Structure 1
């Protein structure tokens, strides 16, 4: 097993890409701490993963936008598992489309708090424990960080900030043996994606259009993203740091 008896924290771990990470790490023997606001979904997933094994999972209620809650959740994880080997900063929010004229400064500040400052805080509070294990950090960003997206200026900026943080922190922590990387997904088949499609007149056609953006003619899966995260957290990627891995199914090709 590729992560046996090692501990990982996944923020936003109860659904979507976070759930995919939790499932993959637990399947590989990991000790998984699921941080999320949704108690029912978080506890249900933790119980399911512990039953199925071979790893073990716990759920800790946490609003990552409150950095003190996040600090306490990281400390609680270490108290339960006795160690921390990987921090996956996944939690975030994609707001509805809005022009720059519709985007207030106050809204931008709030989105930075949720999407970027939570990532910074996750890194900041995890690093003291990761030093002891020469662990890893995986930040979940987005392809919009490098490609942009119409009427998503605020969101793209927060995702780009995550990538810059990843690169700078990789330089700072490299001599201490801590590796820091980011994953930039394109269109992933998540509940959020399907909820978005359900608001449209023809959900099936909308999902097909999104799927066709990738050269495979499909969206990525949450567990495919989890597998990339596991690779970046394992010794298989021991010479990789400061990278923004574009997990986009060829969506940026054929310009």
Structure 2
């Protein structure tokens, strides 16, 4: 079963994580302690996405895994695209299938246009089309100053976070237009308040906000809605794969709620935005961030 640890009534002290780090990105969810919570014990789907097909990038772990599993509980079949984290991807597949839906695994670097196109083609061949596209895959690399960000890091971060989003969306558009589908992009609280140690990452997330707003206007006449989610500090593999162990242990403690969020505390935003309940919403951003007011 998915990790569904209790949270109600826990203090910020109890929410401190074990000191831990991982040597490379993308991180591995199976190595995290505690493992991120994928879905609540009491979650009950109500058919919001019955008969739909979703493609979730970065769906092997973290927020992407929770979205894929929650979509499955709402009746959707899911294709998940991931870089190379095979064990995590297979666990997501198991959880989706446990919910009674089909799950296709698609491995590859979506920052390469040809790879992104093939990924979309595989999903369409398997399921007949795509109703919901969740652009979620991303990477981040802290640096002490702007001068420390070299060309490779800048290029890699934009390729993963922005180029991949363009490439996958371009390839999926014909199917999304045909099915009057929806797109949900993952931006970040850093797009609104900035981050002195994640300047390039925050810049990509700002670009995603503008991409969401512009694309929503471009596709409105086609009946395709485009929205985004801007998570605050969420307990995902990206955290131990990014920050030193001491920072990981207190990650999220600065929020008004005094703790980091769990992936499933974001995933409901994606379910809502992908569902008919959000039929009058496009070009908007939801903010599951633990109470930070960011005006956006």
Alpha-carbon distance in 1 for matches of 2:205, 2:111: 15
Does 2:88 match 1:41? yes
Mind listing any 5+ residue stretches in structure 2 that lack a counterpart?
Answer: 1-46
Structure 1 residues 65-113: Cα deviation after superposition (integer angstroms, max 9, x where no partner): 1221111111111111112111001001011224111112343222211
The number of residues matched between the two structures is: 247
3-state SS of 1:190 partner: coil
Q: Which residue of 2 aligns with 1:221?
A: 262
Q: 175-184 or 107-116, which moves further after superposition?
A: 107-116
Let me know the Cα RMSD of the aligned residues. Answer: 1.6
Aligned counterparts, 1:25-40, within 5 A = 25-37=71-83, 38-40=85-87
Alpha-carbon distance in 1 for matches of 2:290, 2:124: 35
Q: Which has the higher helix share?
A: 1
Q: Which residue of 2 aligns with 1:94?
A: 140
Does 2:54 match 1:8? yes
Q: Are 1:33 and 1:59, in contact at CA under 8 Å, matched by a contact in 2?
A: yes
| TM-score, L = length of structure 1 | 0.91
3-state SS of 1:101 partner: helix
Q: 1:235 to 1:193 in 2, by over 3 A?
A: same
Does 2:112 match 1:70? no
Q: Which residue of 1 aligns with 2:282?
A: 241
| TM-score, L = length of structure 2 | 0.79
Q: CA deviation at 1:8?
A: 0.3
Structure 1 residues 193-233: Cα deviation after superposition (integer angstroms, max 9, x where no partner): 24556x33x46xx533x333222222221112211111000
3-state SS of 1:59 partner: strand
Alpha-carbon distance in 2 for matches of 1:105, 1:62: 23
Q: CA deviation at 1:43?
A: 2.3
Q: Are 1:49 and 1:56, in contact at CA under 8 Å, matched by a contact in 2?
A: yes
Q: Which residue of 1 aligns with 2:210?
A: 164
Q: CA deviation at 1:62?
A: 2.1
Alpha-carbon distance in 1 for matches of 2:163, 2:144: 22
Alpha-carbon distance in 2 for matches of 1:108, 1:195: 18
Q: Are 1:32 and 1:55, in contact at CA under 8 Å, matched by a contact in 2?
A: yes
Mind listing any 5+ residue stretches in structure 1 that lack a counterpart?
Answer: none
Alpha-carbon distance in 1 for matches of 2:115, 2:90: 18
Aligned counterparts, 1:1-255, within 5 A = 1-37=47-83, 38-50=85-97, 52-196=98-242, 199-200=244-245, 202=246, 206-208=248-250, 210-252=251-293
Q: 164-173 or 74-83, which moves further after superposition?
A: 74-83
Alpha-carbon distance in 1 for matches of 2:214, 2:241: 35
Alpha-carbon distance in 2 for matches of 1:156, 1:144: 5
Q: 1:4 to 1:113 in 2, by over 3 A?
A: same
